[in-house]
């Protein structure tokens, strides 16, 4: 379909999204996803004839077995049955975690399947984007890797070029691991400098290996990067790579945790950047991918910034009016920050772009 036609947009939901139990002091607490859904309804962004709410099914076990090792799956099952043990130091275990993790990943795989079946053009999930999960271990609040599972689903259905644009403030070390030596999946991540941000990976020189060299692209930005810096990096790196790669399917992690209100990071963006990047990626999906675009929330640990961000994405994809409340970051990029931003972007262009012949 062309970008001028009305898009069929789904919001993925199931009540099981709220069955996790990370504890009352964990950054991801119960009520996180329902608050987003309630806000969308309150703002008229659901139930309006332009968007639909789609029920998410759990991540299929056959996909789970492809992307995770037998030993790791068994470990998660044992924790799930006994409530004893943790996935990682920051990712608590609890009774029922196996089913809950499959449910939280299922919004992504269900949405991808619906796009492939021609039921919708785009979907937005309040969960998903578990980019820190590896084949044999989890961490960073991630148990199973929904993006890796979804790429398997896509490629089993004949989709050969998949682009993952990860704007989360944390580098997606798990996603990078899965596709590091492949040229049929391009992973582009803009994130806070790993020198001081978990998971301390995602440097420019991490740019793939073998057939995949140049198809992993990392853009580490300094703390205090705001709207202008993020948008500049996007225009200088992501936009030309989308033109080069011409993807058949696009995943987007919007980076709600780059917001100046987020308590776990040091960036100072607003929802203006969410609108800017979503608009650009939406246009690319219609230009290259027949509109096939999946948006998964990833991080975002301030309740207002998260719901404003998801609402902004929905409004762009469904072409509906919405404006977040006024946002006033206390900081903007100074000269030193801009120097670091320019340096990071130029390093990417002088290395990865050279490898790709751009």
Cα–Cα distance, 143 to 87 (Å, whole number): 7
pLDDT at 3: 44
| Active-site residue (options: 122, 132, 170, 282) | 132
Distances (CA, A) of 152 to 59, 104, 106, 166, 178: 12, 17, 14, 18, 11
Neighbour-count burial for 230-259, b at 16+ CB within 10 Å, e otherwise: bbbbbebbbeebbeebebbbbbbbbbbbbb
pLDDT band, residue 106 (cuts 50/70/90) = very high
Of 15-19, 155-159, 183-187, the range with the lowest mean pLDDT is: 15-19
DSSP string, 273-289: HHHHHHHHHHHHHHHHS
pLDDT value of residue 4? 45
**E strand or H helix that includes residue 164:** strand 162-166
Residue 170 has pLDDT above 70, yes or no: yes
Could you read off the pLDDT of 253-269 as tens digits, one per residue?
999 999 999 999 999 99
CA distances from 347 to 130, 236, 330 (A): 28, 11, 29
Nearest Cα residue to 273 out of 347, 353, 203, 169: 169
Confidence tier at 88 by pLDDT (50, 70, 90):
confident
Measured between its terminal Cα atoms, the distance across the chain in Å is 28
Check if the beta carbon of residue 252 is closer than 8 Å to that of residue 281.
yes
Q: How confident is the model at residue 6 (pLDDT cuts 50, 70, 90)?
A: confident
Partner residues linked to 293 by β-bridges: 122, 250
Q: What is the pLDDT of residue 5?
A: 61
**Residue 338 belongs to what H/E stretch?**
helix 335-356
pLDDT of res. 2: 41
Per-residue pLDDT for 174 more than 50? yes
**How much is the pTM?**
0.96
Q: What is the arithmetic mean of pLDDT over 42-56?
A: 94
Which residues are paired to 166 by β-bridges? 189, 253
pLDDT tens digit sequence for 230-249: 999 999 999 999 999 999 99
**Percentage of the chain surpassing pLDDT 90?**
90
8-28 mean pLDDT: 90
Residues 105, 128 contacting (CB under 8 angstroms): yes
CB atoms within 10 A of CB 155: 15
Share of the chain above pLDDT 70, in %: 99
Average pLDDT, rounded, for the chain: 95
3-state class of 241 per DSSP? helix
Pick the residue with more confidence: 2 or 179? 179
Domains and CATH numbers, the chain: 9-356 (3.40.800.20)
What is the average per-residue pLDDT within 190-196? 95
Residue 259 appears among annotated catalytic residues: no
Q: What is the pLDDT of residue 1?
A: 44
Give the residue, 24 or 137, on which the prediction is more confident: 137
The model's pLDDT over 123-156, given as tens digits with 9 standing for 90+, comes to 999 999 999 999 999 999 999 999 999 999 999 9
CA–CA distance, 100 with 89 (Å, rounded to integer): 19
Query: How many whole angstroms separate alpha carbon 167 and alpha carbon 149?
Result: 20
């Amino acid at each position: 379909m062309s970008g001028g036609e009305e898009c069929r947009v789904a919001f993925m939901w199931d009540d099981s999204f709220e069955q996790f139990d990370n504890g009352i002091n964990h950054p991801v607490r119960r009520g996180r996803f329902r608050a987003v859904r309630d806000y969308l309804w309150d703002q008229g962004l659901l139930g309006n004839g332009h968007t639909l709410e789609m029920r998410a099914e759990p991540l299929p076990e056959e996909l789970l077995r492809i992307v995770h090792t037998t030993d790791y799956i068994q470990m998660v099952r044992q924790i799930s049955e006994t409530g004893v043990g943790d996935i990682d130091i920051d990712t608590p275990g609890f009774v029922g975690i196996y089913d809950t993790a499959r449910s939280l990943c299922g919004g992504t795989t269900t949405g991808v399947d619906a796009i492939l079946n021609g039921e919708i053009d785009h979907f937005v999930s309040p969960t998903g984007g578990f980019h820190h999960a590896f084949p044999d271990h989890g961490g960073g609040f991630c148990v199973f890797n929904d993006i890796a599972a979804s790429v398997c689903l896509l490629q089993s259905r004949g989709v050969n070029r998949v682009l993952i644009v990860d704007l989360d403030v944390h580098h997606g070390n798990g996603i990078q691991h899965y596709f590091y030596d492949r040229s049929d999946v391009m992973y582009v991540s803009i994130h806070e400098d790993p020198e001081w941000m978990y998971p301390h990976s995602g440097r420019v020189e991490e740019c793939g290996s073998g057939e995949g060299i140049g198809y992993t692209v990392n853009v580490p930005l300094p703390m205090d990067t705001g709207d202008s810096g993020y948008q500049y990096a996007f225009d200088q790196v992501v936009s030309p790579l989308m033109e080069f790669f011409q993807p058949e399917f696009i995943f987007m992690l919007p980076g709600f945790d780059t917001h100046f209100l987020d308590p776990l990071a040091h960036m100072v963006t607003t929802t203006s950047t969410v609108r800017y990047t979503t608009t650009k990626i939406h246009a690319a999906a219609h230009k290259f991918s027949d509109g096939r675009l999946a948006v998964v929330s990833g991080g975002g640990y301030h309740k207002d910034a998260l719901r404003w961000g998801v609402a902004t994405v929905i409004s762009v994809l469904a072409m509906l009016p919405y404006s977040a409340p006024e946002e006033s970051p206390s900081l903007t990029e100074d000269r030193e920050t801009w120097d670091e931003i320019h340096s990071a972007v130029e390093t990417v262009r002088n290395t990865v772009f050279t490898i790709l012949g751009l």
